[in-house]
A = this chain, B = another copy of it.
Amino acid sequence: MSLTAPAPSALDPQRRRRADRARQVADVLRRQVLHGLVSDGALPSESDLAVDFGVSRNTVREALDLLRDEGLVDRVPGVGTRVTCGKYLHGLDHLRGLAETLSGAGRVRNEVRVSGLVPAPGPVARRLDLQPGDPVVYLERRRLADDVPLSLDLTYVVRDLGEHLLGEDLAGRDVFALLESISGRSLGEAEVTLEAVVADAHSAAILEVAPRSPLLMLERLTHLDDGRPVDLEFIRFRGDRITMRGTVRRASPKEATA
């Protein structure tokens, strides 16, 4: 990413001060919106917010503009600021499939774009403890919650389990639940990485967002409870539809350096 000169307005001290305060207000309000903590889906009035945060009404308006640009609220002249957030909370504490983690919050449906056997490219084979070129099952699915696209999932599954997947209800069920029923074992642990990336034009079209929209990119290597790696996934979540939520604990100094 190339460095960019700050926009001129960002250098004007007064505007800068207001923008800093607007960000501060927006960040605090963001959680209220995400967690449905505002009563009747309406934010307090601009003047109440100005008093609560000790800022001007102009600053409050700029803060609400930031949240509107993220698709979290809508501002209706004469009515006020309404929550329009379509974000789902996705648990990070336990290894769970999408339908499991959204349970109760949204109806998940999967469109299978590709499914079948492919030779494993070298890096995929190494992570699944296979030889390069060994056949693996490859799945590509667009996943929707309440009929709005949520993610695009690319999945590699070891052949002995994956071949059984192909006959299952991939449109209606999570791969995790199917893998446990096919293998007769529980899943164990998964290595995950999370990044914020920009949507390329083609991924944006599939996810029905504007090109260069922010995506939450999840890579996950999942093992059975006997430690065998069986499932490698690359998932692009729409940034405006998913919030990851979890709990992190402080390690003892010894653990922290482990």
Interface residues of A (CB under 8 A from B): 1-4, 6-7, 9-11, 16, 19-20, 23-25, 27-32, 34, 37, 52-54, 66, 69-71, 87, 89, 92-96, 100, 113-114, 118-119, 121-124, 132, 138, 140, 154, 186-198, 200-206, 208-217, 219-220, 225, 234, 237-240, 242-251, 255-256
In whole angstroms, what is the CA distance A149 to B196 when docked?
16
Asked whether B192 lies within 8 Å of A246 as measured between CB atoms, the reply is yes
In whole angstroms, what is the CA distance A11 to B123 when docked?
30
Residue of B nearest to A22 (CB): B202
Q: Which residues of B contact A54 (CB under 8 A)?
A: 118-119, 121
Give the most central of A215, A216, A248, A256: most B CB within 10 Å: A248
Asked whether A200 lies within 8 Å of B9 as measured between CB atoms, the reply is no
Q: Which residues of B contact A217 (CB under 8 A)?
A: 196
Asked whether A198 lies within 8 Å of B225 as measured between CB atoms, the reply is no
Within the complex, which residue of B114, B123, B239, B250 is in contact with A214, where a contact is CB–CB below 8 Å? Answer: B239
